[in-house]
Amino acid sequence: MYVINDFAINEKYAMNLFRQIRWSDGVYCPKCKSFEIIEKETIHERKKYKCKTCNKQFNDLTGTVFQKSHLPIGVIFYLIANFEKKTIQQLYDETKISRKAISRIKNRVYEELK
């Protein structure tokens, strides 16, 4: 559980919510689009999968704007929810996540929305 300014972030809940949205039609391979998937392990609430068709391994974040981030998805949701309300410096002060990482996430999200 992460706490930012007395706001508790439940990573398990946040990742389950993300997974429900991402895989609303079922888990499929981002490479070949096959639904023939083997669920492997879970690391930091992120599930890993292997495609039976093309043997590609992937996780819940593969192919999304979040795929290269090592931050918990709940913290990323918090940042996204506050990009319009707070400066990067304010978000840094609250989260102690580097300003560079916050800027990178903001730029990726805004680029995706264009």
pLDDT the model gives residue 1? 59
Q: Compute, in degrees rounded to 10, the torsion defined by CA atoms 95, 17, 24, 114.
A: -30
pLDDT tens digit string along 42-101?
988 899 999 999 999 999 999 999 998 889 999 999 999 999 999 999 999 999 999 999
Structure tokens at 90: 């304010």
Give the global pTM: 0.82
Structure tokens at 36: 């023939």
Closest CA to 103 of 77, 79, 75: 79
Q: Can you say whether the dihedral through the CA atoms of 35, 40, 45, 46 is positive or negative? A: negative
pLDDT the model gives residue 68? 86
